[in-house]
A and B are shown apart, each in its own frame.
Chain A
Amino acid sequence: MSILVYIAQHNGQARPVSWEVLGKARSMADRLAVPLVGLVVGHDVQKIAQQAIAYGADKALTADAPHFVAFRAYAWADALKAAIAATQPHIILAPATSGVRDAVALAACQLGIGLAAECQALDLDADGNLLAERPIFAGNILTTVTFKGRPQAATVRSRSFPLPARDDARTGEIIPLAVTLSDLAAQEEVLDFAAGAAGELGVENASIIVSGGRGVKGPAGFEPLRDLARVLGAAVGASRAAVDAGWIPYPHQVGQTGKTVRPDLYIACGISGAIQHLAGMSNAKVIVAINKDKDAPIFGVARYGIVGDLFEVVPALTEAFKARLGRQ
């Protein structure tokens, strides 16, 4: 028995959610007294394997080859299948990032493994079986997924668990994993990659999000929000109304048909709080709403509200944070 965790990475950088999942897996492995194994798929990933040990893995497997750099669904799934064959895990966990999410699903279906997708909390029952909590019906209902048979697999959303402490003194074996690529992997060829807008923090990983809706009135209306986001090191989010109007690209959209986010702080500016928007952000720890309509439903989920014109309130907040935090 063991627990296997897929470490998501891009361009030689681990995605932080990988360590969040690994940290949770560490506590589960301790409880079950089984080894915790990290799997790193990519090229020149020795450094990430080392970090996996530092963040809590007992062992790290590396599927290290140039053909693993760009995401290819079956290639990454083949690596996971090889790791499963090598370690015989009874629990498999992975971040629900794009790419990894697909690879895990393909491998799990090919192997007939039960998979709970997009989970936000994990636990073990008395027999060491995985219990995976996930929102369904756009977050209006929660369920605990239980499994028949083993292994038991789950993908986990960003920011479901805290980042564990890193201990560079920890030691563990790093083992190269031999992966034979399937015919299906050969049927997928990556021709090009264009990185998303550089420097823009994705909403899914952000601890603070400043979000704008129809109330920002146009593309230029996002400027004061971006100023505030810059001071706070925050990501910029948006309602569907703002995205559909073409004021900001779709990757910023929060809600049922956009991203599901879990920041520590969500500042909603000129967003009414439609149920489909709430589906994506009501798990934020603290919600601040700025809206000129005191009856806007967003105030129903907000901890703090300011009734007023966002074009006055947002710049005032930016100034107040600058003054208080001594930031520019």
Chain B
Amino acid sequence: MKFIVCVKLTPDTEQLAEVQPQDVGSDDLGVTMVLNPWDEFAVEEALQLQERFDGTAVVVTLGGPDATEALKRAVAMGIEEAVFLSDPAFAGSDAWGVAHVLAQAIKRIGDATLILTGRQSVDGGSGLVGPGLAASLGVPFVSQVAKVLDVTATHATFLRSLDEGMQTVRVKTPAVISVSKEINEPRYPNFMGIRKASRMQYPAITAAQLPGLDRAQIGAAAARIAWTNLRTPPARTGVCEFIQGATVSEQARILVEKLIAEKVI
């Protein structure tokens, strides 16, 4: 069985607030870039599935030259094969464009049993590449997987987390899933892994090397949506009013009156 995990390089969450609106979409956001935290769960799950079902695991990313950093982290965690998709023609793609390229790469890799993605990327945060990939490949999609219950030669069974509860769902394989953070505890890379990752080569696969790629579906020209008017949200106005009082009960009473007067309650 083959488990393919799709990952993205995104800003370190500690520095998300430092990203400037005018830099969004450029190659350099001026912050440290790391493996998208949601994708760590997907990488960990791919490793666990590989161990459970005696399979193989492959990591794939699409991005600029620096995106190999995301692959390195996955390799350092233990993934043995890495695929780097990079071509100026991919730049500016929307989620459906990215999904189209990834789908061609997954066909090229071949024999996928499950394709794993994170819930969302911390930058765009739309969670669309997973379903887009499933639609592009024409295979089932199971989002927010909290547990992989079983994988057989033809089917896979999952616990899917929904707003209202947990569903047990079985789909035909190959299938695309997005994983929820309840699924596992991502491991930290060890020294051996880090050394292996830094020695591995990550040659770029370009558009020309992807049979089936439809150039009309990728790049900025094909994007059906655009991010405009990038701006910093209005700062929360006013300063915190600290409620004073002789006793805690008095403080509580004052606060309650203020909230009721403001019709918050």
Contact = CB atoms under 8 A, between A and B. Distances in A.
Interface of A: 10-11, 15, 70-74, 97-99, 101-102, 105-106, 108-110, 112-118, 134-149, 184, 187-196, 202, 204, 208, 232, 250-251, 256-257, 264-265, 275-276, 279, 282, 285-286, 288-289, 294, 299-308, 312-313, 316-317, 319-321, 324-325
A155 B28 CA distance: 29
B124 interface: yes
Q: Which of B141, B157, B164, B233 has most chain A Cβ within 10 Å?
A: B164
Interface string B146-189: 00000000000100011111111111100100001110000000
A268 to B, nearest CB: 12
Chain B residues touching A, range: 35 or more
B255 interface: yes
A99 B164 CA distance: 10
Interface string B131-152: 1101110111111100000000
B229 A143 contact: yes
A109 B131 contact: yes
B246 interface: no
Contact of A187 (B172, B228, B252, B264): B172
Contacts of A320: 249, 252-253, 255-256
B123 interface: yes
Contacts of B99: 109
11 contacts: A73-B143, A98-B162, A115-B128, A118-B127, A145-B228, A188-B172, A189-B171, A194-B166, A279-B16, A304-B258, A316-B252
A138 B135 contact: no
B63 interface: no
Contacts of B163: 10, 15, 97-99, 196, 202, 204
A116 B264 contact: no
B233 A140 contact: yes
A114 B225 CA distance: 6
B122 A137 contact: yes
B125 interface: yes
A265 B265 contact: yes
Contact of A250 (B21, B24, B182, B227): B182
A324 B162 CA distance: 37
Contacts of B141: 73-74, 102, 106
B19 interface: yes
A288 B248 contact: no
A145 B37 contact: no
A110 B99 CA distance: 11
B94 interface: yes
Contacts of B90: none
Given A114-B225, A184-B140, A195 B165 contact: yes
Contacts of A135: 125, 233
A71 to B, nearest CB: 6
A110 B136 CA distance: 7
B77 to A, nearest CB: 18
A184 B258 CA distance: 55
Nearest to B124: A136
B236 interface: yes
Contacts of A109: 95-96, 99, 128, 131-132, 135-136
